[in-house]
Amino acid sequence: MTPSSSLLVFGGGYLGQAVAQAATDKGWDVAVSSRQAERRADFEKRGWQAVDPDNADALARAGMNATAILVTAPPDAHGCPAMRALSALPAGEAWPDWIGYISSTSVYGDRAGGWAFEGDALNAATLEGARRAKAERDWLDAGRGMGLTVQIFRLPAFYGPEQNIFQRLRAGTVPLVRKPEQVFNRIHIDDVISGLFASMARPHPGGIYNLCDDTPTPAEDVTLWAAERIGMAPPAEVSLDDPSVSDGMRRFYRDNKRISNARAKAELGWRPRYPSYREGLESLITSQT
């Protein structure tokens, strides 16, 4: 895409704002949606067009001006809110050259520690994962039916300067749970962003990509490394059924899989700048000193 490119981000959360800022740094025109008035005011201060997704006219203008649309808003019980909002726009005018939908590796469900690839059958074990899988199908069906260049990006947990384990350690909100053979996948937010822009440069209609680092790792390894790196005592070890462990954390431990990023590397020419949690977390320390 050219320097005159423009991006509409549907969903101005942590990831949406980070991608919007990266596009701004490239000289793009950027619009970002949010239903929160305070957040929209902040977007305007950052030089972005702030869009209320319930304002059909404003959304239509942003959509028709965009050369790329990124959907980061999570699905709800009725499907993808971005698809509902954008489907009402003029079909011949509102759809850009590239549409990216942010999904989750939760769509794979449990693999008993085995590898998960984009072509695998999906087996989501959670409501969130099932909703993501349905939203993926809806976007891919729309892409095929309307001739749109839709891309799906399945992400594990992502971290960055404003959302990371160092903060949680200092806040005392990281339980140290050991579960033999359990691994998790993760990715630095900068590597998510570089993957998205790599796709914009080399779009594949209907493309589905796992974006993650190269090193699936047990959560306790990351916790212990991070605590030692900032000179903190490690959290107390607890069992998974301990009352201090939230239901959300227990659900997190249901899925055990290794996510492959080989397709993104092969088709997009993308490589994670931070191939493991060590490089990624170290970058957060050095960038703040």
Looking up residue 34, the CATH number of its domain turns out to be 3.40.50.720
With 80 as the cut, is the pLDDT of residue 228 above it? Answer: yes
- 105: DSSP letter: G
Per DSSP, the residues of 75-89 read PBTTB-HHHHHHTTS
* pLDDT tens digits for range 2-12: 546 999 999 99
Q: What is the pLDDT of residue 93?
A: 58
* Number of domains the chain is built from: 1
With 80 as the cut, is the pLDDT of residue 95 above it? Answer: no
- The answer to whether residue 164 sits within a structural domain is no
- The answer to whether residue 55 sits within a structural domain is yes
With 90 as the cut, is the pLDDT of residue 135 above it? Answer: yes
- The answer to whether residue 250 sits within a structural domain is no
Residue 34 to residue 13: CA distance in whole angstroms: 8
The predicted model gives 159-164 an average pLDDT of 96
Residue 2 to residue 132: CA distance in whole angstroms: 31
Q: What is the pLDDT of residue 288?
A: 61
- Is-contact 274 188, C-beta < 8 A? yes
Range of the domain at 59: 6-159+186-216+258-275
Q: Both tokens of residue 136?
A: 């993926």
4 three-class SS:
coil
Across 81-95, 111-125, 151-165, least confident range: 81-95
- The answer to whether residue 178 sits within a structural domain is no
Q: What is the pLDDT of residue 4?
A: 66
Return the closest-CA partner of residue 257 out of 128, 157, 137, 134. Answer: 157
Q: What is the pLDDT of residue 286?
A: 81
- The answer to whether residue 86 sits within a structural domain is yes
- The answer to whether residue 79 sits within a structural domain is yes
Place 132 in a pLDDT band, splitting at 50, 70 and 90. very high
- pTM score: 0.95
- The answer to whether residue 236 sits within a structural domain is no
- The answer to whether residue 171 sits within a structural domain is no
